[in-house]
Amino acid sequence: GENVEQHPSTLSVQEGDSAVIKCTYSDSASNYFPWYKQELGKRPQLIIDIRSNVGEKKDQRIAVTLNKTAKHFSLHITETQPEDSAVYFCAASPLGSGGGADGLTFGKGTHLIIQP
């Protein structure tokens, strides 16, 4: 099955700086890569996703890049703000975006800390 590795496990950046979180995946059939943000004790919320037919997608201060050859994808947050502090999860799926078995496999998460 799919295996998703996420790095780093903790990332501390100064407010206003950029943050980059990286994920690698093992199944070359994966074609859907969402990113979820989870604040302490709350539900994960989808913040951006990308499909394998594009290499980059941007939404305001958030962008995701995908390198299918190298099997890695990254989340980029620019001009970080205190409200960006949370745990971020990447995921990969070979079946579209469904969450069932052989569907979404999650990374272990990155705790992003924005220092004032």
Q: Which of 19, 48, 50, 104 binds other proteins (CB under 8 A)?
A: 104
How far is Cα 41 from Cα 6, in angstroms, rounded to an integer?
Answer: 21
Q: Which of 27, 47, 62, 103 binds other proteins (CB under 8 A)?
A: 103
Of residues 102, 84, 81, 69, the one with CA closest to residue 16:
81
- Site for other proteins contains 94 (CB under 8 A): no
Contact indicator for 113, 12 with CB cutoff of 8 Å: yes
Strand 10-14 relative to strand 110-115, pairing: parallel
Q: Which two tokens stand for residue 76?
A: 């980029």
List the Cα angle 99/30/24 in 5-degree steps. 100
Per-residue contact flags (x/-) with other proteins for residues 6 to 45, judged by CB under 8 A: x--x------------------------x-x----xxxxx
Per-residue contact flags (x/-) with other proteins for residues 64 to 93, judged by CB under 8 A: -------------------------x----
- Site for other proteins contains 113 (CB under 8 A): no
Q: Which two tokens stand for residue 104?
A: 């979404």
Nearer to other proteins, 16 or 98 (CB): 98
Q: Which two tokens stand for residue 51?
A: 């499909």
Site of interaction with other proteins (CB under 8 A): 6, 9, 34, 36, 41-46, 49, 89, 95-101, 103-104, 106-109
